[in-house]
Amino acid sequence: MIHLSVSDVMTGTVRTTTPAETMAGVATRLREEGIGSLIVVDPTSDELTGIVTESDIVRLVAAGAAGATTVSEMMSSDVITIAPDASIHDAARLMREHSIRRLPVVEGGELVGMLTTTNLVHYLPRLRNTILRERTQA
Q: Which residues bind a copy of itself (CB under 8 A)?
A: 23-24, 27-28, 30-32, 34, 36, 54-55, 57-59, 61-62, 64, 67, 88-89, 92-93, 95-96, 99, 101, 116-118, 120-122, 124-125, 127-128, 131-132, 135
Rounded Cα distance between 71 and 89, Å, is 31
Q: How far is the CB of 46 from a copy of itself (least distance, A)?
A: 27
What 8-state DSSP symbol labels residue 76? Answer: B
Q: CB-wise, 23 or 71, nearer to a copy of itself?
A: 23
Our CB check for a copy of itself shows the closer of 20 and 124 to be 124
We find the least distance from the C-beta atom of residue 123 to a copy of itself, in angstroms, to be: 8
SS3 state at 50? strand
SS3 content of the chain, % helix, strand, coil (to 5): 45, 25, 35
Minimal distance, residue 60 CB to a copy of itself, in Å: 8
Backbone angles phi, psi at 39, to 5 degrees: -85, 135
Rounded Cα–Cα distance for residues 61 and 46 (Å): 29
